[in-house]
Amino acid sequence: DAGVTQSPTHLIKTRGQQVTLRCSPKSGHDTVSWYQQALGQGPQFIFQYYEEEERQRGNFPDRFSGHQFPNYSSELNVNALLLGDSALYLCASSRGQYNSPLHFGNGTRLTVT
Amino acid sequence: AQSVTQLDSQVPVFEEAPVELRCNYSSSVSVYLFWYVQYPNQGLQLLLKYLSGSTLVESINGFEAEFNKSQTSFHLRKPSVHISDTAEYFCAVTHSGAGSYQLTFGKGTKLSVIP
């Protein structure tokens, strides 16, 4: 039973560029959440997708956008990258119920130079 | 809005000694509470959760946490730690009402078990 898979594992981008991160949820899960974990910090909620729509959004600018596909996989897009966007980006999947436990992937390490 | 404070950023402890990782939360509504563990270069794994019922919750690997509503705390304890428990531990909260889908995490506590 495959868990949550994220790609790529590492990525280096230049300030001002755009990046797309990908996530495949655990089998049987239909909800995908994205979190940003800066160095030495806890994860911060970016947004959650359910039924191909953004269901809730954290305190992140519009440069952060996402998408969920019919097979429940998801993408996180970040435009106009800033140095401060350097972080570990974690994808978590769950079932539709709001208190369903999150299963996290191993993350994508994004470095912006 | 909720917030989580993990009072210790690093906790060194000798193998087979007991440990307590402290977590306090702030919320104006009823909450669900979680502890996650993160091993190096990995994502987070759910360790245990409090949703309702008994205030003492246990994990399969010997950790336990107690929900204390009056003190707004959810401290994590283990009576005897092992080298393999070395990891970073995150406390998280979400409010228990419908319509809340985000977890708010603390900054984490790095547990180092010394042989």
Subunit contact B102:A33, Cβ cutoff 8 A: yes
Residue B103 contacts A, CB cutoff 8 Å: yes
Give the pLDDT band (50/70/90) at residue B20: very high
Q: Chain B 52-71, CB below 8 Å of chain A: which residues?
A: none
Radius of gyration of chain A (CA): 13
Q: Are B62 and B48 in contact (CB under 8 A)?
A: no
Q: What's the pLDDT at B102?
A: 86
| Topology, domain A5-112 | Immunoglobulin-like (2.60.40)
Give the pLDDT band (50/70/90) at residue B2: confident
Q: What's the pLDDT at B29?
A: 83
pLDDT of residue A98 exceeding 70: no
pLDDT tens per residue, range B31-84: 899 999 999 888 899 999 988 888 888 888 899 999 999 999 999 999 999 999
DSSP class of residue A26? P
Domain architecture of chain B: domains with CATH: 3-114 (2.60.40.10)
- How crowded is residue B68: how many other Cβ atoms within 10 Å of its Cβ? 12
Kindly state the average pLDDT of the residues B80-105: 88
Angle at B24 between CA B20 and CA B29, to 5 degrees: 140
Contacting residues of B for A43, CB less than 8 Å apart: 44, 90, 103, 105
pLDDT of residue A35 exceeding 90: yes
| Nearest-by-Cβ selection for B43 from A33, A41, A104 | A104
